[in-house]
Chain A
Amino acid sequence: MEILQTIKNYSIRQMLLQSLNFLLVLSTAFMFWKGLGLYQNTESPIVVVLSGSMEPAFYKGDILFLSNPKTPIEIGEITVFKIEGKEIPIVHRVIRVHNDESSGKQYLLTKGDNNEIHDRGLYKRGQMWIEQKDVVGRVKG
């Protein structure tokens, strides 16, 4: 209750200064996040693992650092991808790569290390492959 009392004793100028300080802290954190995202070319440079499908490599709650270079995705890389129409990004390993030279497209198939079968059941209905545009980031560490 002491704190409330001190806040009441502040003048308007002090109040404004305090809130400005607080906003500065928030915006610094936000700028850091966005700046890192811009540098790594991904919308979320740091993700937290949500499911156990990549155990024992990653457990729930592990923190991953992503980047998203333009270079082709290689086999065995762990990618974070989003399926159209689904909100939650998935962290899984690439187990098949087909590079189409004429269109420059990459057809990828993923699988969670801890899952029995590949991810076609998680994709959209009838979707056989994911492409580079679905990939949000590639796990670096």
Chain B
Amino acid sequence: MYNQLQRLNSVVTFALTVAFVLMGVVSFTSLYQPLDASANVKVKGIRLRQGSSFPDYYNENAAKSEYVHLAMDIDADLTKLFHWNTKQVFLMLVAEYETPKMATNQLVLWDTIVQSPEDAQFKLRKYRNKYHFNHFSRKFDTQSANLTFYWDITPHIGLLQRQRQGKIPMKVTLPPLSYK
């Protein structure tokens, strides 16, 4: 009545259906996982200088631009963000400020990829910013900026989840320009 091909066909179809239903269940349930993590930053040193201490490629105005150089203490614990559907957590430290011309300015100063809960705790001391902290134009048009942590959970399957640190962001006052 049934030949081997038909049997194989029904087995494969059933397996695929089960796999897709399972994928749906996993991606749906991971949306309702409790997410809570802590991240803190303390600014230990800040300097505003003309020109960067590390090369700013493709920026023709680099020598004439103002750059903020930071030394930061970063403490973070992202262990609780890891559940069965977490592939990685992307942690970003973002500087945010306003200027009269530009309504919002957001710059990633430091980021890291965390792939396992064992590596999810950070205690960095006097850490320098990894990316350049300079304005869209050459000079900063503002006196202060906020530092905020953002993280982005990449799942194995399902929707990306973005979150920002709920605590009050840290205020940084830009010092006057100093020369070398």
Interface residues of A (CB under 8 A from B): 56-58, 74-78, 93, 95-102, 107, 113, 117-118, 120-121, 128, 139-141
- A99 with B105, Cβ < 8 A, contacts A78-B160, A141-B159 known: yes
Contact of B131 among A58, A95, A120, A121 (CB under 8 A): A95
- A75 with B92, Cβ < 8 A, contacts A97-B105, A99-B104 known: yes
* Residues from chain B with Cβ under 8 Å of A97 in the complex: 104-107
* Residues from chain B with Cβ under 8 Å of A93 in the complex: 90
Q: What 13 additional pairs, Cβ within 8 angstroms, besides A76-B92, A99-B102, A141-B160?
A: A57-B87, A57-B88, A57-B154, A93-B90, A95-B107, A95-B111, A96-B106, A97-B104, A98-B104, A120-B58, A128-B59, A140-B159, A141-B157
**Once the chains bind, are A139 and B160 in contact (CB under 8 Å)?**
yes
The DSSP consensus for interface residues of chain B is strand
- A56 with B103, Cβ < 8 A, contacts A120-B57, A141-B160 known: no
A71 to chain B, nearest CB (A): 13
Chain B, interface residues (CB within 8 Å), range: 20 to 34
A-B pairs under 8 A by CB, number:
78
**Once the chains bind, are B160 and A140 in contact (CB under 8 Å)?**
yes
* Residues from chain A with Cβ under 8 Å of B73 in the complex: none
**Once the chains bind, are A101 and B160 in contact (CB under 8 Å)?**
no
Asked if B11 CB lies within 8 Å of chain A CBs, one says no
Please report the C-alpha to C-alpha distance between residue A113 and residue B91 in the assembled complex, in whole angstroms: 11
Contact of A56 among B106, B113, B158 (CB under 8 A): B113
**A139 closest partner in B (C-beta):** B160
Interface centre among B59, B105, B106, B157 (most CB of A within 10 A): B106
Interface centre among B88, B101, B104 (most CB of A within 10 A): B104
Please report the C-alpha to C-alpha distance between residue A120 and residue B57 in the assembled complex, in whole angstroms: 8
**A58 closest partner in B (C-beta):** B154
Residues 120-164 of B, flagged 1 when their CB comes within 8 A of A and 0 if not, give 000000000001000010000000000000101011011110100
B32 to chain A, nearest CB (A): 15
Please report the C-alpha to C-alpha distance between residue A25 and residue B152 in the assembled complex, in whole angstroms: 39
* Residues from chain A with Cβ under 8 Å of B115 in the complex: 56
Contact of A98 among B88, B92, B136, B158 (CB under 8 A): B136
**Once the chains bind, are B102 and A101 in contact (CB under 8 Å)?**
yes
Please report the C-alpha to C-alpha distance between residue A95 and residue B115 in the assembled complex, in whole angstroms: 20
**B155 closest partner in A (C-beta):** A141
A64 to chain B, nearest CB (A): 9
Please report the C-alpha to C-alpha distance between residue A138 and residue B52 in the assembled complex, in whole angstroms: 32
Interface centre among A97, A113, A121 (most CB of B within 10 A): A97
Within 8 A of A (CB), among B32-69: 57-59
Asked if B108 CB lies within 8 Å of chain A CBs, one says yes
Asked if B79 CB lies within 8 Å of chain A CBs, one says no
